[in-house]
Chain A
Amino acid sequence: MSEEKSSHTPIKKAGSGILGFLSSLCYIWWLETKSTIKDEGVLIFFILVPLAYPLLYSWIYNNEVVREVPVAIVDLSHSASSREFIRDFDASPDVHAAYYCNSLREAQGLAGKQAVHGVLYFPEDFDRTLNRGDQAHVGVYCDMSLMLTYKAIYQSALAVSLKMGEERQKPRSFSFTERDEELNTEPLSVDAQPIFNTTGGYGNAVLPGVLILILQQTLLLGIGLSAGTARENNRFQDLVPIGRHYDGIMKIVLGKSSCYFMVYCVMSAYITMAVPYFFSFTMLARPSDLFWLLLPYLLAVIFFGMTLSCMVRYRENVMLLVVFTSVPFLFLTGVSWPQSNIPGIWQGFSWLIPSTFGVRGYLRISSMGGSIDDILPEIRGLWIQAVVYFVTTCFVYRYQIISARKHAIAHYQMIQNSIRSAREKRADGK
């Protein structure tokens, strides 16, 4: 607040008291809104990308799970039991016995041509070993360039082998009744329950993070772009023009941020409520929880963006600075690599970025049905960020106002000097 007072004194004020403050604020808000709509670049990042990108991503991940992964079968056993295994395997929803080969080499060739993503190999003695009462082996070869196909092949093969093994155990388990067989083959019954994201869908796991990140990245791009434009249009390449409305830090910061906040209230409502509805993603958040998360998130992002925008000299540079951060920022939130295993140094760095807390909080209330109490640490983090970045924004703008004024004064003096020297010259001439 102190810097605000000091900056008020030198230049003539726009109006007196609170009314003048408000009128200046509204004026700056109006200018910013106008430039947002007029400026094609800002319009793209503020409106078009937040509207279209979530739809594109949702479309990409809309199928959620991987079904019918093609697998090559190398059955050297050619027996009833190997065929039973293959039939059960093929009947699993996630895999598909696409090719039958005579050797592993042949199957390998198919894998190289991307026709299959894994191979099931039955050795020649599979049936014999099994019926002799020894342990029979099935070879499972997985292409590890895709984790999801590996998971599908491995889990299907495991399920089939356990099921078939159980059937083999039953006649040899000294049982008298069927219930006895069950008890002997499964003395401890196990129930595996996915508790959240129950389908194990990839889209449901990744998309909420991407959606919240899109809000941040487009805001950073838009704010940076508009700051770059302001600088380029300025005669001295300053962020803040000289004018009767631009004499207070609070006016400028609040005026501009209220414009961004206004646009992004709509955008965040669309992204967090409409998009999940269109594509029927899990959405368990209560409206009030969502509001209390998104309010500090938007504020933190806006002031973060305004602080960073002072570094943008030319409008296009902002794309070079912001776009590439999207992927690292997404990884820092813990959506892909678990949060508990992020090394300390990156953990610390991630606290500087609003999306870290925003995505974590959003995932917990939207995918896990948590309440505001469950995400208090994230909300506190966001409010702290909002306040800290607000203060840094004020400092940045204070510096900008001072330098703008210096430039103006220097320019004014230069003109005066030249006038004076011209006069002197003329006087000398006479």
Chain B
Amino acid sequence: MKKLHIYIRRLFHLSAREVGLMVHNPIYICCMVVFPLVVILFFTSLMSEGQPEKLPCGVVDNDNTSMTRAMIRQLDAFQSTHVAGHYNSVAEAREAIQRNEIYAFLYIPEGTTARLISKRQPKVSFYYSNVTLVAGSMLFKDLKTVTTLSSAAVGSAKLQMLGKTPSEIRDFIQPIALDVHMVGNPWMNYNVYLSSIMVPGILILFMFLITAYSIGTELKFGRAHGWMAMADGNIFIALTGKLLPQTLIFLSIFLGYEWYVYGYLDFPHPGGLHMILLLAALTVFSSQGFGVFAFGLMPSLRMSMSVCSLWAVVGFSACGATFPLFAMDGMIEALAQIIPLRHYYMIYQICIFNGYPLIDAWLNVVALVAFAALPILVTRNIKRAMVEYVYIP
């Protein structure tokens, strides 16, 4: 009982010391509070439209009849398309794409209407650039719809003339219709899709780096002996006391982020509050665990921080949120399992975004717990480093 009391007092003193260090080094406040907030605001405000609207699209209308103009007006009326320019030829329109003025264009050759009326099957084309994938596929969808509708309008007029009812016409023109259910994100909101992985990714990056940095600077500024003395040589007490204030700050930032996106911006979260809280705790603990582990493995400030940054940055691609993991090479698929962000993404999308039970993501939960437990393997190494090593730049 008395021993426990001593431990708690030591922990308290170590935490107080850490808070003192953090207050005096502005880099901590920047990386733990200021930058994360900026990043959260950056991503959510950048994509606040949800889905890109009014993407510039060009038109080459060599026919210029009331029918083609109606078609262009219809295209312009789509939410994601904006007819930004009329061009005289395909070559001009292509140059406009190369100058990044438009992402796609519709080409209507001369005589289209005449051939359409006289039943000689004219051909219209549209060209879209996939260099910006989102813009390309959005415009593809609108251009495809508008051309299909124009084609169907001819059949519809003819059937109307024959005295068919509107529902008969619909049934004839589209015998099989798709009921598309975009489960979880029916607006196809890119803010929901991208912000909920990019922002945590950067928060994890900061947790990695700050953890490694704060332990490494003990060596660098020659405070290591004092630190160990305060913990009476017990590395567990030393680490816990040091990381506790950071854990609390990271946890509040992460919960603040979650409140902002789920509570304020109302991103879909059918998984509920308990999953959100669980994921926050898992993420913070596993990231700190990884940071400690990286330092313990290579007790050099620079090397551990380099490893942490490389790990976190590769995570953005290898987590499989943008390009699916199962489409990557087998080796990368295996490698992705040792990246915490991958498991964060899996738990997030299975349990929070789609609302499936936690058991479906048990493997990922175990993985994050394992990351959090990694420091156990290297505590001896860290202690030795603190007692024996000297900082080499």
Contact = CB atoms under 8 A, between A and B. Distances in A.
A190 B125 contact: yes
A114 B393 contact: no
A341 B140 contact: no
B128 interface: yes
B130 A364 contact: no
Interface in A79-96: 85
A277 interface: no
Interface stretch (B229-237, B244-252, B316-324): B316-324
A368 B97 contact: yes
Contacts of B176: 85, 130, 135-138, 161, 164-165, 168
Nearest to B320: A146
Interface stretch (A55-63, A262-270, A401-409): A55-63
A395 interface: no
B116 A195 contact: no
A169 B173 CA distance: 7
Contacts of B313: 323, 326-327
B175 A165 contact: yes
Contacts of B55: 338, 340-341
A150 B181 CA distance: 10
A187 B116 contact: yes
Contact of B126 (A134, A193, A342): A193
A113 interface: yes
Given A196-B130, A346-B42, A324 B350 contact: no
Contacts of B134: 336-338
B354 A341 contact: no
A62 B178 contact: no
Interface residues of A, number: 111
B175 A189 contact: no
Secondary structure at chain B's binding surface: helix, strand, loop or mixed?
A: helix
A158 to B, nearest CB: 6
Contacts of B206: 320, 324
B293 interface: no
A363 interface: yes
B202 to A, nearest CB: 5
Interface in A330-347: 331, 334-343, 345-346
Interface in B338-393: 346, 349-350, 353-354, 356-357, 360, 393
Given A169-B172, A205-B131, A338-B52, A200 B136 contact: yes
Interface string A180-205: 00111111111111111111111111
B240 interface: no
A-B pairs, 4 with minimum CB distance: A112-B356, A145-B349, A197-B130, A144-B185
Interface of A: 40-41, 44, 49, 56-57, 59-63, 65-67, 69, 85, 111-114, 117, 130, 133-151, 154, 157-158, 161, 164-165, 168-169, 172, 182-206, 229, 232, 314-317, 319-321, 323-324, 326-328, 331, 334-343, 345-346, 360, 363-364, 367-370, 374-375
Given A199-B130, A335-B132, 7 more contacts: A142-B181, A145-B184, A148-B323, A157-B178, A331-B46, A346-B42, A364-B100
Interface of B: 27, 30-31, 35, 39, 42-43, 45-49, 52-56, 94-95, 97-100, 103-104, 112, 116, 119, 121-137, 140, 143-144, 147-148, 150-151, 154-155, 168, 170-185, 188, 190, 193-194, 198, 201-202, 205-206, 209-210, 213, 216-217, 220, 301-302, 305-306, 309-310, 312-314, 316-318, 320-324, 327-329, 332, 346, 349-350, 353-354, 356-357, 360, 393
18 contacts: A60-B317, A60-B323, A139-B181, A143-B184, A169-B172, A185-B155, A189-B123, A195-B128, A317-B27, A319-B306, A321-B27, A323-B205, A324-B35, A324-B205, A339-B100, A345-B45, A364-B100, A370-B98
